[in-house]
Amino acid sequence: MARILAVAPVLPEHAATQTQITAELADGVTDDDAARAVMQRIHAASGIETRHLALPLAEYRGIEGFTAANRLFAELALPLAERAVVAALAEAGLRVDEVDHLFFTTVTGLGAPSLDAQLATSLGFRSDLRRVPSFGLGCVAGAAGIARVADYLAGHPQGVALLVSVELCSLTLQWNDRSMANVVGTGIFGDGAAAVVMVGDAHPALHVSAEPRAHVVASRSALYPDSGEMIGWRIGESGFRLMLAAGVPALIDGHFAAAVDELLAEAGWSRAEVDEWIAHPGGPRVLESFSTALDLEPAALATSWAVLARAGNMSSAAVLHVLAEGGSRAAGTRGVLFALGPGVTAEIVLLEWS
């Protein structure tokens, strides 16, 4: 079993209130009073108070086209990822040259070589570092990354692995898209990054501290059929155009609880034995659907709601912020970490602190 030694969430330095963001975007996206009123109403209902941005809010209107936006991603995402990695390794008490495996994920910028290669060079990782860059998992990638790193460490019990997520959702802004998906998306997505340090069960670091560490008990992926147009991007000349269908909550209602219960049963757990539900804060309707499907009390997802209010939906990084927000847990704590993303794909991870 893989164990989590550290989780380091980071945010860009520029922050704006939801009201400020709505005012700036409403003026730029539409000149129609009725459409502006719809955007204001949807943004106000998001439960979000502030979002962090890669650039000062006023500078987004000056970005001309996908080439410029993607160039900014390369420039701005790297230092954010560096901050997360340095903080996570410091918390874990490990050096950069001890890292064997790097799973890197983003869905808001493109490059070849991918950003993880630049990260490995800038921070001085070993030349034999095993890199797995991921694009396309989207919001589910924080949960999927933990699961895939755990899969790697099962075969490398003395190994050290990093999961790094960096998402600059603000750079995907589509000024000329009047669709409801864009109206909703402009109201919920924010920028952020996170790094997670994980080690195999035989790593010496586990014997240094008596502090309980989360270990990955089991995981499950679920790809729902006929849902490929519900969440994701349409990538074209203008960059990333959001797909976000109204049917996502119904998909959660119809499928999600059964997948959770099956994984819990495989581990010999039940819902009543879960102490913490670590949900991707995809938006208010997503969180409400998770609560309804799993028959949870309102307080069960309080940490996810708090992260959503403070920073919005940071795609793959968001669930890692929720995991970090919980701080240290007592030995014996059982948690279920989960997210939904393009596909539509769900990823569910069982964690136990010991």
Give catalytic residues, as residue numbers: 139
Nearest to 7 by CA among 183, 142, 147, 107: 142
| Rounded-to-integer distance, Cα 101 and Cα 129, Å | 6
CA distances from 67 to 80, 88, 238 (A): 20, 32, 9
Q: Is 92 helix (H, G, I), strand (E, B) or coil?
A: helix
What is the β-pairing status of strands 276-279 and 334-341? parallel
Q: Would you say 120 and 181 are in contact if contact means Cβ atoms under 8 Å apart?
A: no
- DSSP state letter for 60: G
| Rounded-to-integer distance, Cα 343 and Cα 336, Å | 21
Extract the tokens encoding 254. Answer: 């119809």
Question: How many degrees, rounded to 5, is the angle at CA 75 between CA 184 and CA 100?
Answer: 100
